[in-house]
Structure 1
Amino acid sequence: MAYVDGFLLVVPTDKIDEYKKIAKKAGKIWLEYGALEYRECVGEHLDMPFGRPFPKLLKLKPDETAVFSWIVYKSRAHRDQVNAKVMQDKRLAGMDPKTMPFDMKKMSMGGFDVLVSL
């Protein structure tokens, strides 16, 4: 069964285009090194009438939105191999966490075993 790295970020709405540019670059690199799928999704309909809506959960300000992302791998071992190569790639070397178009302190991430895949 596949393995997924999942990410949830808070991005200022006026920085979505800047974020998209970085995400496209990063996605190409992850796929080049063997990731099976790379997705970056920007919040569009977040105020759902049930559960805990993303704006409340993430304490979004009016000028912020949620970005939900995931990368799919064959397994956790495959993820570890791909990420080791990605982290050594010089094309990402210039990406300084201090200049990212989002607050890294508000980013959540984790690795997930796929439970159901249809």
Structure 2
Amino acid sequence: MSYIDGFVGAVPAANKDAYRQHVLEAVPLFKESGVARMVETWGDDVGKGEVTDFFRAVEATAEEVIVFSWMEYPDREARQAANERMMSDEHMGAAVEQMPFDGERVIYGGFATILDKDSGAEPGYIDGSVIPVPTANKDAYTELAAMRAEVMMEHGATRVVNAWGDDVPDGKRTDFKRAVNATAEESVVFARVEWPSKEIRDAAWPKIYGDARMHTEKGLFEGERMIFGGFAPLLDV
């Protein structure tokens, strides 16, 4: 399956157009480096949590919006080669200096896909989540995620992806592990559900939550520390 570089950041709401343009200008470099797909999404329905949430994960201010983004590669080797090429490109340094957001608070990591149910349709809305799962429960979690993906797609989802933390570094201020208060015995899952539209998504979730198949977690992970939210596509290339 594919390999994913996942990112979560905070961008001033006033810089939305500048952020999109900044990323758009970097697309040629990413594509030349081997990125198969690059998606940027803009926070739309991102709530505050009692224990964890996306805002705390990146120390977002009241004037900032959460961005949830990822790059897809054919495999881990392609991702490693792409990262090496991008880091050695002279244009990358200039791009970093001109970022219309605080790059020190971006959290990122490499994730190996363990589930990818895809109808092939283009997404119009994204549900993104980050989940702490005991490493020992990987196989059981994968089985549960596959079952839940079937339920979601029965109610209109076009793609469900779960990717297991593989190269998730510790950060100086923020990182994926701290985002969900992960312990040393836990791994981080970077997941998303793609929908044709927000309207279909909003109508589907009450039915999904009402399905008994969705309530068979059996202690595989601590849901209170999961962070999630709804995002509108900003760029998909």
TM-score by length of 1: 0.83
> What amino acid does structure 2 have at the position aligned with 1:117?
D
Give the drift of 1:85: 2.2
Which residue is equivalent to 1:104? Answer: 103
1:106 and 1:92 map into 2 onto residues whose CA distance is 18
Deviations 1:18-57 (A, max 9, x none): 1111111222321232211100111111127898443354
Q: Separation in 1 of the partners of 2:34 and 2:56?
A: 36
Q: Give the corresponding residue for 1:67.
A: 67
Structure 1 stretch displaced more, 13-22 or 43-52:
43-52
Deviations 1:66-110 (A, max 9, x none): 01110001111111112222233344342243x421112211000
Higher strand share: 2
The change in CA–CA distance for 1:58 and 1:85 in structure 2 (over 3 A counts) is closer
Identity %: 28
Which residue number in structure 1 is paired with residue 78 of structure 2?
A: 78
What displacement does 1:59 show?
A: 4.2
Tell me the C-alpha RMSD between the 2 structures: 2.2
Structure-1 separation of matches of 2:22 and 2:76: 25
Higher RCO (CA-CA < 8 Å; seq separation 6+)? 1
> Any stretches of 5+ residues in structure 2 without a counterpart?
118-237
**Do residues 39 (structure 1) and 44 (structure 2) align?**
no
Is the CA contact (8 Å cut-off) linking 2:11 and 2:67 kept in structure 1?
Answer: yes
Rg larger in 1 or in 2?
2
Whole-angstrom distance in 1 between the partners of 2:29 and 2:22: 11
Gaps of 5+ in 1: none
Distance 1:32 1:62 in 2: 36
Amino acid at match of 2:108: M
Change (3 A) 1:57 1:80: closer
Matches within 5 A, 1:38-57: 38-47=38-47, 52-57=52-57
What is the number of equivalent residue pairs in this alignment?
A: 117
Which residue in the other structure is 1:16 paired with? 16
Q: Secondary structure of the equivalent of 2:6?
A: strand
Counterpart in the other structure of 2:89: 89
Once residues 93 and 39 of structure 1 are traced to their aligned partners in structure 2, the CA distance between those partners, rounded to angstroms, is 21
TM-score of the pair, normalised by structure 2: 0.44
CA distance in 1, matches of 2:51, 2:110: 23
Task: Please give the secondary structure, in 2, of the residue aligned with 1:85.
Answer: helix
Match of 2:139 in 1: none
Distance 1:96 1:30, change over 3 A: closer
Contact 2:37 2:73 in 1 (8 A): yes
